[in-house]
Structure 1
Amino acid sequence: MSKKQEISCAIYKTKKRDGLYLYVKEQDDFEDVPPEVMKQFPEPEHVFDLELSADRPLAREDVLKVINNLQKDGFHLQMPPKLEAPISDITMPDSLHG
């Protein structure tokens, strides 16, 4: 039997690291979250609750991976996006060099 492809969750952010989010199955239930992860969330800030479903994609995460992690591990950690190339790495067109 396959796992259910939808689940409710609560999403938290941390002031410690911008763009880092923690998904848990129930609001304020961090029982399944390892202490090492919770160190990044000393004061978890509830962002919102969400009903995840296989037919409703997420902006930055694979919704099926999030659902699987919540079912298997009891939490999902969304890492911050990779930084764009520093401005010094951008090559300007010759016409702008005056």
Structure 2
Amino acid sequence: MQCYIYRSQRKQGAYLFLTERDDFSRVPEGLMRLLGSAYFSFEFDLQPDKPLAQGNSAEVIRHLTEHGFYLQLPPADLAATRVH
């Protein structure tokens, strides 16, 4: 699956994955306000059997397919969102 990665202007370390370049139509408006401007970083072919630096490839693909986007947060932010 080809995906397009954007970095957030406001949230350092946050990356937005899209299935189509520059198509933010499926990203909730509130999330876009939180992230600020999204700057294109790179594109790549996401494969379920290839590891990512952060996250699970199959999970990212599932989220992209179902929602049209995937938000990758920095590890510290992910830990803060977990319920203990």
- 2:9 maps to 15
Give runs of ≥4 in structure 1 deviating > 3 Å: none
1:67 equivalent in structure 2: 61
Aligned residues of 2:7 and 2:14 also touching (Cα < 8 A): yes
Gaps of 5+ in 2: 78-84
After superposition, the CA RMSD in angstroms is: 1.2
| TM-score between the two structures when normalised by the length of structure 1 | 0.74
Report the structure number with the largest CA radius of gyration.
1
Write the distance in 1 (CA, Å) between the matches of 2:8 and 2:50: 25
Alignment length (residue pairs): 77
User: What SS class does the counterpart of residue 62 from structure 2 fall into?
Assistant: helix
* Deviations 1:30-80 (CA, angstroms, capped at 9, x unpaired): 011000111133321101001100121101111111100000000000011
Please give the alpha-carbon distance, in whole angstroms, between the structure 1 residues aligned to 2:56 and 2:49: 11
Segments of structure 1 that go 5 or more residues without pairing to the other structure are 1-6, 84-98
Higher-helix-fraction structure: 2
TM-score by length of 2: 0.85
